[in-house]
Structure 1
Amino acid sequence: MVKKCFIPLVLICLINCGGGSGGGSEGSAGVQSSVGPGGASNEPVQFGLSYPGVSDAEGREFTRTNLQALSLTRIRFDEAWMYREPVEGEFNWGPLDERMQWLADNNISVMLTVQSNGPDWACEPTLSNERTCVFSDSDKFEGYIQTLLQRYPNQIELIQFGNEWLASYWFLGTAQDFVEYNNIVYQSVQRYSPSTKVVLGGFASGSLSIISYCAGDIDQYFEEQTGDLVDASQREAVCNSELVLSSQDMLNAVLESAEFDYLDVHLYDDVENWNTYLSTIRRAVGESVPVVVGEFGGPNLIWEQPYSDEFQATRLGQYLDALSDMDIKEAYYFKLVQSESALAAHWESGLYRLEEGEYIKKPAFDVFEGFMDEYSR
């Protein structure tokens, strides 16, 4: 378990940052890890795919075939209470049972992201949208989580509550709400699925840029969704804004009380800065905390122009080289088949594009395949 209670002055993005969810389902404490002296990992980075298709048998077979071709055995996908218990007390486990059995049959590990939404009956009406809600009774959420873990004990490698929770786009509640829900997951895991590791939901890539900028570790960055260049002359205004300070308060409150084993960061686009981002966040949270990259990808269609499939392939090679040398445990590429479920800037971050029902393999796939062929030896 990790519990931290401080962080340098940072700015957290409160809009939808990063690659975004793929819409998978129907849609001071000690750390037990493989981290050696000085925080350096003793094991190679394990790669996987974030949000490949798993919702039906056809999608799972396409995913399985491509995982095999890429020498990968890890995926990340969503789980949502709203689909599991649409009517209070009436659970629909069939779809998730099929996915979990498919994982077991094919020796695939999963990082399960429990989305911060719920069925209508369990959500506060005024604090709810299609992506997230505040639960009207956290005991009901606890019942769902406990049932989930008892149904699949020690079958989930990693689990997290919420996706990019610092953005109101993904989480409408307060820091106290998030801590309560996160800790329900953590405490339930200890009781019902002790081999599972709990991951603190992802730091979006846009957030990481601003964190490092406000910590003085970088002097400029491109705003992820507008392409605007923010340089050092704007630091005081940006980092002392009301938005910055309120965001910092939320982050401090979560890090003070949240219980977790690993930290999740999402990395896109400016691979040249990824090591700096990791260094900044490690300094804030703790050098020995194991890190998982729940999403990585690119390029950014707004400020990395002109786009071409060949440029994407070149950049993917750079991403893979950088990640393989970083002090992280796992990294999941977003995504197998590109779609508009991603942030608009990352619509081309896919190994395939889908045109008129046909999967078109992009050059980036060959780069990934070649890298993994060498890396797996």
Structure 2
Amino acid sequence: MKKLIRYLSCAIVVGMASVVTGGANPIIGMGFPPVSQAAHRDFTIRALGNLDIEHIRIVENWRRRGMDPDFSPLVQRITHLNGAGIKVLLTVQSNGPNAACARRNAHSCLIREDAPFEDYLTGLLAAVGDHIEAIQFGNEWDNQFVGTSADFLNLHQRFSSVVRAERPELPIVLGGITGRAAYAQAACVEGVEVHIPNLEISAQVHKFCRKEAGRNARAQADVRHVLAHADFDAVDIHLYDTEDLWPAAVQWLTALSRGREVWVTEFGGPTPELEPKDPAYQSQRLRAYLDVIGRLPIKRAYYFKLLDDDGSIHKHSGLYDKRAKPKPALEIFSQYQR
């Protein structure tokens, strides 16, 4: 039982009253494909070309650039991708060098008010602003950010002010928000049932909703607060594992987005903790994920991910294994794209 509750926690952190049909067939992209080296980019370009995918999401981290940042490696990566017709959503991590941080955790830092954050962003936009199609600050801030939602909102507004001044035509995507708040609304408030093959979890969902009620309420309050005050053009949510909850989750976020577009910059599964890890099972679940994604009223959906790795929770969700060998899921994805 504890494992099942952990499973729901995982799905909600990394993240069907009725199927929503409006705005169907979103643009499909790929989240975090390998791009750091030329050989990686060549593989990604070939693989995405075979899937008819033009949109990817990659990350930029001030902490790795240092206080005197050199953006030439990033420019080289993005222009190489652009040359192959690939469009980039750039996620700027809510992080920075130690000298710029008031405090930090493993994923983020609270950038000081007197830190040259605006200078870093101005330099970044001068270097790559003409080569990206959208930009966002922070990744899963509602779960990973070291500060409060008010702290994140302050940094997001500093970020937005620079983007509006330097690149007013560049869309700002508020994100990425995990599924916790929206999943809690779907499962715990609206009573949407969750069905996972070979797992009986209805009783555990109920227990989870009661056990995590306080944390869920705080997450919802944080999301509402940021969406009510932030400057953005689209809002971004991550959807994993429990596809029964996705339509209601998107409906809840749409109602809070003040007319902005909704993007999903991460979707996928299955969870490696409880569901089978074999490639055949993955391809079965991927078919279900894509079926739901294709009917959601969203503009974009970026699959996570192209290649298996050892560094993420969903490390077996790639369309290729770690040796870049195709998995059965690749054919399922190809069929969907066709």
TM range (shorter): 0.7 to 0.9
- Tell me the CA shift for residue 235 of structure 1: 4.3
Structure 2: gaps (5+ residues) = 1-8
Normalised by the size of structure 1, how large is the TM-score? Answer: 0.78
Amino acid at match of 2:85: N
- Tell me the CA shift for residue 111 of structure 1: 1.1
- Tell me the CA shift for residue 139 of structure 1: 5.0
Match of 2:287 in 1: 317
Q: Does 1:98 align with 2:76?
A: yes
Q: Does 1:293 align with 2:264?
A: yes
Between the aligned partners of 1:158 and 1:57, the Cα distance in structure 2 is 23
Match of 1:273 in 2: 245
Amino acid at match of 1:201: G
Q: Does 1:60 align with 2:22?
A: no
SS in 2 for 1:361: coil
Change (3 A) 1:50 1:118: same
Q: Are 1:266 and 1:295, in contact at CA under 8 Å, matched by a contact in 2?
A: yes
1:152 to 111, 128, 131: 128
Between the aligned partners of 1:130 and 1:302, the Cα distance in structure 2 is 22
Between the aligned partners of 2:208 and 2:128, the Cα distance in structure 1 is 49
Change (3 A) 1:324 1:138: farther
Q: Are 1:213 and 1:235, in contact at CA under 8 Å, matched by a contact in 2?
A: yes
- Tell me the CA shift for residue 340 of structure 1: 2.1
How do residues 212-361 of structure 1 correspond to structure 2 at under 5 angstroms? Answer: 212-218=186-192, 230-232=204-206, 235=209, 238-239=212-213, 241=214, 243-286=215-258, 288-304=259-275, 306-343=276-313, 346-354=314-322, 358-361=323-326
Between the aligned partners of 1:147 and 1:45, the Cα distance in structure 2 is 32
Match of 1:188 in 2: 162
2:100 to 105, 122, 143: 122
Amino acid at match of 1:283: A
- Tell me the CA shift for residue 103 of structure 1: 2.5
SS in 2 for 1:197: coil
Q: Are 2:194 and 2:242, in contact at CA under 8 Å, matched by a contact in 1?
A: no
Q: Does 1:81 align with 2:62?
A: yes
Change (3 A) 1:187 1:347: same
Q: Are 1:221 and 1:230, in contact at CA under 8 Å, matched by a contact in 2?
A: no
Change (3 A) 1:262 1:229: farther
Q: Are 2:264 and 2:302, in contact at CA under 8 Å, matched by a contact in 1?
A: yes
What CA RMSD, in Å, does the superposition of the two structures yield over aligned residues? Answer: 2.7
Q: Are 1:221 and 1:229, in contact at CA under 8 Å, matched by a contact in 2?
A: no
Q: Are 1:157 and 1:195, in contact at CA under 8 Å, matched by a contact in 2?
A: no
Q: Deviations over 1:39-93 (max 9, x none)?
A: 944x841111101111111111111110111111111011011122x1x3x2211
How do residues 30-45 of structure 1 correspond to structure 2 at under 5 angstroms? Answer: 40-41=22-23, 44-45=25-26
Q: Does 1:134 align with 2:123?
A: no
Structure 1: gaps (5+ residues) = 1-12, 20-37
Amino acid at match of 1:122: A
Q: Does 1:199 align with 2:173?
A: yes
Between the aligned partners of 1:162 and 1:279, the Cα distance in structure 2 is 23
Q: Are 1:46 and 1:331, in contact at CA under 8 Å, matched by a contact in 2?
A: yes
2:330 to 341, 361, 365: 365
Q: Are 1:220 and 1:232, in contact at CA under 8 Å, matched by a contact in 2?
A: no
Normalised by the size of structure 2, how large is the TM-score? Answer: 0.86
Q: Are 1:52 and 1:75, in contact at CA under 8 Å, matched by a contact in 2?
A: yes
Between the aligned partners of 1:147 and 1:185, the Cα distance in structure 2 is 13
Change (3 A) 1:14 1:274: closer
Match of 1:17 in 2: 13
Q: Does 1:166 align with 2:138?
A: no
Higher relative helix content:
2
Q: Deviations over 1:323-356 (max 9, x none)?
A: 122111111111111112211xx221111112xx
Between the aligned partners of 2:153 and 2:48, the Cα distance in structure 1 is 34
SS in 2 for 1:184: helix
SS in 2 for 1:360: coil
Between the aligned partners of 2:249 and 2:221, the Cα distance in structure 1 is 20
Q: Are 2:12 and 2:179, in contact at CA under 8 Å, matched by a contact in 1?
A: no
User: How high is the sequence identity, in percent, across the aligned residues?
Assistant: 32
Amino acid at match of 1:60: R
